[in-house]
A = this chain, B = another copy of it.
Amino acid sequence: MTIRVTVWNEARQDRSDDAVRAVYPDGINAAIAAGLREEDGLLVRTATLDEPDQGLSAAVLAETDVLVWWGHVAHNEVTDEVVDRVHARVLDGMGLVVLHSAHFSRIFRRLMGTTCALKWREAGERERIWVVDPGHPIAEGLPESFVLDHEEMYGEHFDVPAPDRLVLVSWFQGGEVFRSGCCYQRGRGRIFYFRPGHETHPTYHQPLVRRVIANAARWAGMPSGSAPSYSNPPPLEPLG
């Protein structure tokens, strides 16, 4: 079964900021999509904020099994209409993979119901990512831990609902920890938050980061069960 993945990006800093262009000359989105295209069974397209309908028309979403989302400086430019549309599609079964600074995206905050705040530090320090739930499909093919030599630190407390499954925990050189791989079910949709990916580090070129994102796309694109209805039905049994 082919899973249709749309990789969405605000695509601002990777046009305007030389430090970002040095790492992602074709844009962050291209690097994420390239990683996914290395995989069998995934059909990958990209979309960005400055396209018509902010890249996320009803037609695009209808053809999307999993949406991958990266944003940072333009969260508030995403319109109510787009947030509402994506939100409805997730509850109806579309998967959503939320990357790094998209913890503050409108769609993630809408789905979580919390502030999604955290600690951060841009010091290019070492991050070690540990698998704490080795039985989860998102851990498939990972070693017990892996290293990102230089990343932005995100530290606890991370103000999200406790994940349904906590798959990854990060250790940072500066002394912090972070719940870096968090699974959620909302309605019929699966959501995965994955921490790494600061725009000035080559994180999305890293093979194990790509493995996590591809595993997450497969997991979030899994068939989503049965269709509920919300209605005012007659009794199934006699009320006597």
Q: Check B132–A158 contact: CB distance below 8 A.
A: yes
Which A residues from 130 to 155 make CB contacts under 8 A with B?
Answer: 130-145, 153, 155
Contact of A225 among B114, B137, B158, B237 (CB under 8 A): B137
Q: Check B228–A131 contact: CB distance below 8 A.
A: yes
**Interface status of A93 (Cβ within 8 A of chain B):** yes
**Interface status of A197 (Cβ within 8 A of chain B):** no
**Interface status of A100 (Cβ within 8 A of chain B):** no
Q: Check A131–B226 contact: CB distance below 8 A.
A: yes
List B contacts of A174 (CB < 8 A).
234-237, 239
**Interface status of A76 (Cβ within 8 A of chain B):** no
**Residues of A within 8 Å of B, CB-based: how many?**
79
Contact of A175 among B114, B156, B236 (CB under 8 A): B236
Q: A111-B113, A223-B137, A225-B139 are in contact. Are A236 and B177 (CB under 8 A)?
A: no
Q: Check A229–B125 contact: CB distance below 8 A.
A: no
Q: A115-B91, A173-B240, A176-B236 are in contact. Are A143 and B226 (CB under 8 A)?
A: yes
Q: Check B239–A135 contact: CB distance below 8 A.
A: no
Q: Check B175–A128 contact: CB distance below 8 A.
A: yes
List B contacts of A179 (CB < 8 A).
132, 169
Contact of A222 among B137, B141, B157, B229 (CB under 8 A): B137
Q: A230-B118, A233-B121, A237-B174 are in contact. Are A131 and B161 (CB under 8 A)?
A: no
Q: A121-B233, A177-B169 are in contact. Are A93 and B135 (CB under 8 A)?
A: yes
Q: Check B125–A235 contact: CB distance below 8 A.
A: yes
**Interface status of A78 (Cβ within 8 A of chain B):** no
Q: Please, which residue of chain B has its CB at the minimum distance from the CB of A228?
A: B157
23 sampled A-B residue pairs with Cβ under 8 A: A112-B113, A114-B187, A119-B230, A119-B232, A121-B235, A125-B235, A130-B156, A131-B156, A132-B156, A134-B157, A134-B227, A135-B187, A140-B224, A142-B225, A142-B226, A144-B229, A153-B235, A162-B185, A164-B164, A164-B165, A174-B235, A176-B236, A177-B177
B-binding residues in A (CB < 8 A): 91, 93, 110-115, 117-121, 123, 125-126, 128, 130-145, 153, 155-159, 161-162, 164-166, 169-177, 179, 184-190, 222-237, 239-240
